[in-house]
């Protein structure tokens, strides 16, 4: 109950800030705020962020990246936002969700109507514009969340944004493990017919967990088409998550 209370208080805090002030601030200030808030709520959930390898901030880096990641849960958004201030692309329906819709809009989430070609084209250009302005954007090219035990084909649409913006692509891989045993954590993935409320309850009830964020070398847009950028990123993430020995001896969800 203590954990649930802390989580509820932080969500309410963010919601009230979004209603009264956050939406009026410049976008970079909004992202800095949600970056700090994400670290707090991860701690409230009992999730420790482990980044591999540690990035040398003194090393010269482009001002923005198109981050591409596997997708296991809504928790992924909090984990990546805790790692770096960034925008996310989400399905249009999220904007109408109670509480979360208001938060998403105030935090600058880019909404896309998947069935609309015009909406997709507009969204691709919006992502490119943000990258050009120095703001990183995160996409989940698998198109949906999953338990994470199978390889998924990446959709190539948003890699066009990196080419238009002449931006680097930063592949990252997420996994969740029991902080004590190191086993895969079965209570974090959000998929299938699971409701958001049920998923939130499962995460709150989870034992101490580590969110492992594997950051790969960035990939320049130069010399690539959107499809070749897609394949390079897809192979990078999937080969790391699903080596041959993993596929032959796959560990299904642990007891976390």
pLDDT score at 242? 55
Matching residue, tokens 């066009």: 160
Give the residue among 111, 110, 107 at the shortest CA–CA distance from 18: 107
Q: What is the mean pLDDT of residues 59-84?
A: 89
113 in a structural domain: yes
Q: Once rounded to an integer, what is the mean pLDDT over residues 179-200?
A: 92
Q: Structure pTM?
A: 0.90
Residue range(s) defining the domain that contains residue 178: 2-54+61-248
Q: What is the CATH number of the domain that holds 9?
A: 3.40.1130
Asked whether the predicted pLDDT for residue 149 surpasses 90, the reply is no
Q: Give counts: helices (H), strands (E), the chain.
A: 9, 7
User: What is the mean pLDDT of the segment spanning 65-93?
Assistant: 95
Q: How many domains, in total, are found in the chain? A: 1
pLDDT for the residue numbered 251: 43
Look at residue 255 and tell me if it is in a domain: no
Q: What is the pLDDT of residue 87?
A: 97
At residue 246, the pLDDT reads 37
**Residue 256: pLDDT band by 50, 70, 90 thresholds?**
low
Tokens of 209: 């967990």
Q: How many angstroms separate the CA atoms of 212 and 88, rounded?
A: 19
Residue 98 domain-assigned (yes or no): yes
Judge whether 74 lies within some domain. Answer: yes
């Amino acid at each position: 109950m203590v954990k649930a209370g802390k989580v509820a208080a932080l969500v309410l805090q963010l919601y009230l800030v979004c209603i009264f002030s956050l939406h009026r601030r410049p976008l970079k200030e909004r992202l800095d705020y949600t970056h700090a808030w994400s670290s707090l709520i991860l701690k409230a959930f009992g999730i420790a962020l482990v980044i591999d390898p540690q990035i040398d901030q003194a090393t010269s880096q482009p001002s923005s990246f198109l981050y591409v990641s596997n997708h296991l849960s809504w928790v992924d958004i909090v984990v990546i936002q805790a790692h770096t201030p960034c925008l996310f692309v989400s399905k249009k329906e999220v904007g109408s969700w109670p509480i979360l819709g208001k938060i998403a809009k105030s935090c600058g989430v880019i909404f896309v109507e998947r069935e609309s070609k015009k909406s997709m084209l507009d969204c691709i250009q919006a992502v490119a514009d943000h990258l050009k302005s120095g703001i990183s954007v995160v996409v989940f090219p698998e198109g949906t969340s999953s338990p994470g035990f199978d390889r998924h084909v990446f959709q190539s649409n948003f890699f066009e944004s990196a080419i238009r913006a002449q931006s680097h692509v930063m592949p990252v891989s997420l996994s969740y493990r029991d902080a004590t045993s190191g086993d895969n954590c079965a209570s974090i993935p959000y998929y299938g017919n699971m409701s958001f409320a049920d998923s939130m309850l499962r995460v709150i009830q989870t034992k101490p967990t580590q969110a492992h964020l594997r950051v790969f070398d960035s990939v320049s847009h130069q010399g690539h088409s959107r499809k070749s950028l897609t394949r390079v990123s897809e192979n990078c993430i999937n080969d790391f998550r699903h080596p041959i020995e993993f596929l032959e001896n796959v560990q299904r969800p642990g007891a976390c």
